[in-house]
Amino acid sequence: MDTDNGIYVNVFDENTKETVVMELEEIVKKATTIVYTSIQKETPDVFEIEAIKAISIVIRTQVIRRLKRFNGIKWNEEIDADISTGMSGFEYIIGSPKIPREGFDEVYNKCSALVDDTKGFIITFGGKPIKAEYHLVCGGGTENSEDVLGNKIMYLRKVLCEYCFNSTNYEGVIDIPINEIEDKLNVKVTEESSIYGPEIKGVFEDVQRDETGRVKRIKVGERYFSGIEIRDLLGLNSSRFGWDPLVIRFKSRGLGDGLGMCLYGAYKMAEEGKSYTEILKYYYTGVQIVNINSAGGGVPLSGKTFIIDPGHGGDNGGDEKGPTGLREKDVNLYIAKSLVELLEKDGALVYLTRLEDEDISIIKRIEYVNSIRPNFLISIHQNFFFALGVSGTEVYYYRGDLEGEKMGRLILDNIAKSLGTANRGTKNAEFAIIRESKVSSILVECMYISNPKEEEALKSDQVKREIAKAIYRGVLEYYGI
């Protein structure tokens, strides 16, 4: 059921055996709080914003994947409900959020505000909501889906995870009596006898007995002993002896099935400054973070492909420096990554020509663009001039590229309006990246890094994000959104 205020979900209450209608975002708030408290048991009094945002998008994706309007699969075909409180993470979503943990209400209030920040965002693969699996601690690496579920899912691929080494559940130990193992596995593993004992690798091996069952020679650990030596050293009655293990100590690594996102790993990634988009894309291979319109499920940029080119990079990338040493290549990459997040939230498929500070030649960038053939190439740069007073924003397009000129003008207007920079106009140019790319292309000179005032502004992450938002708004306007 949908209204102008949001998406409503039918929830089966396992306690009352009744179906309750709940608003999607309220479900996400409560479930996100529940899941995050499991991390807090590992890391008391820690509250990582980006980890919570990542969890909220995972939860929302799980619900959306069950809804009929999104061609979802109900949790149970025999019951007319979308999800159930019996599903992991959703146990306490009906009524007041009650978890046996002090300070839950405080955590819930904090989580609610962050869930609002991610409202409408879900994870998709091939345009469809993914099976957003997660677990508490992966123990160094996640699992391939076929090793757990029996079938291959392209976005549930094994990834190495160095983020959960410090978790209290990274290593686990449990002692289980042999008779309990036999009962649960329905097997018989021991035989009680004074002249028999099972070989145990690394403990008792290479046992040699005479015809009466006396031990003549036995390897214990890395050393060999005679039966007489064992009798004397251990105080046994004779060298005719056996052994019967009573308890097996199991050592495990990690907690959970290892599928999808490692919650503790997500917390550590956030602690290290990773964004929720980086966290989700690390654990779910090849996915997109998109925005679903709460009234109609629309994804404005669905089906559109972009390549964002952060100009320069590496030690020999030829970037410019501001008066105080700010590097253009670093500014370009930050803006580009911020723009990617915005475009992907609205359903676009987005690629970057470089992901870090590396020198990718112009030839390789052009080859990459022409191999993908996106709807648009947007190259991000900062301008430079020897006269420090020159400032403003300008956008370049290749001659005859009418669509590039149109989008360039809209982006230019949005940057100038949002940042208060001088509008220096759109101009055609022969830059190789826009000349040789066989798609509509623009090169955006956001500000003059040579201008002391604009260099200072570009040091601010907020300003760089605002530039990305202005470019994003220009893209939306180009598509009539």
Domain co-membership, 225 together with 103 = no
Note the pLDDT of residue 3. Answer: 37
Q: Are 212 and 199 in contact (CB under 8 A)?
A: no
Whether residue 409 sits in one domain with residue 283: no
Write down the pLDDT at residue 103: 58
Whether residues 278 and 332 fall in one domain: no
User: Residues with Cβ < 8 Å from 456, sequence gap 6 or more?
Assistant: 324
pLDDT above 60 (res 298): no
Q: Average pLDDT of 301-309?
A: 88
- The verdict on residue 157 lying in a domain is no
Q: Is the pLDDT of residue 4 over 50?
A: no
Mean pLDDT along residues 115-121: 90
Number of domains in the chain: 3
Q: Are residues 248 and 264 in the same domain?
A: no
152 token code pair: 């291959």
**Beta-carbon-side half-sphere exposure of residue 139 (alpha carbons within 13 Å):** 14
Q: Name 384's Cβ contacts closer than 8 Å, sequence gap at least 6.
A: 320, 328, 448, 449, 450
Same domain? For 202 and 77 the reply is no
pLDDT higher than threshold 70 for residue 440: yes
Q: Output the pTM of the full model.
A: 0.55
Is residue 413 predicted with pLDDT exceeding 60?
A: yes
Do 114 and 17 share a structural domain?
yes
The predicted-structure confidence for 239-250, as pLDDT tens digits, reads as follows: 999 888 888 888
CA of 464: how far to CAs of 9, 118, 311, 480, in Å? 38, 20, 15, 25
Q: Is residue 95 domain-resident?
A: yes
Let me know whether 215 and 268 are in one domain. Answer: no
pLDDT, tens digit, 9 for 90 and up, residues 272-287: 999 999 999 999 999 9
Bridge partners for 397 per DSSP: 428, 442
Tokens 């069950």 -> residue: 66
Q: Is residue 300 part of a domain?
A: no
Residue 207 is predicted with a pLDDT of 93
Taking only the tens place, the pLDDT of each residue in 33-90 is 888 877 766 565 566 889 899 999 999 999 998 886 665 677 777 787 889 988 888 8
Residue 291: name the closest of 71, 465, 60 by CA. Answer: 60
Domain identity same for 43 and 115: yes
Please check whether residues 359 and 473 belong to one and the same domain.
yes
Phi, psi of 302 (to 5 degrees): -60, 135
383 and 447 within one domain: yes
Flag whether 105 is in a domain: yes
Q: Which domain holds residue 188?
A: 173-252
> What span, in angstroms and rounded, lies between the C-alpha atoms of 242 and 135?
43
Does 475 have pLDDT greater than 90?
Answer: yes
The pLDDT of 86-104, averaged and rounded, is 69
- If asked whether residues 263 and 248 sit together in one domain, one would say no
pLDDT of residue 277: 93
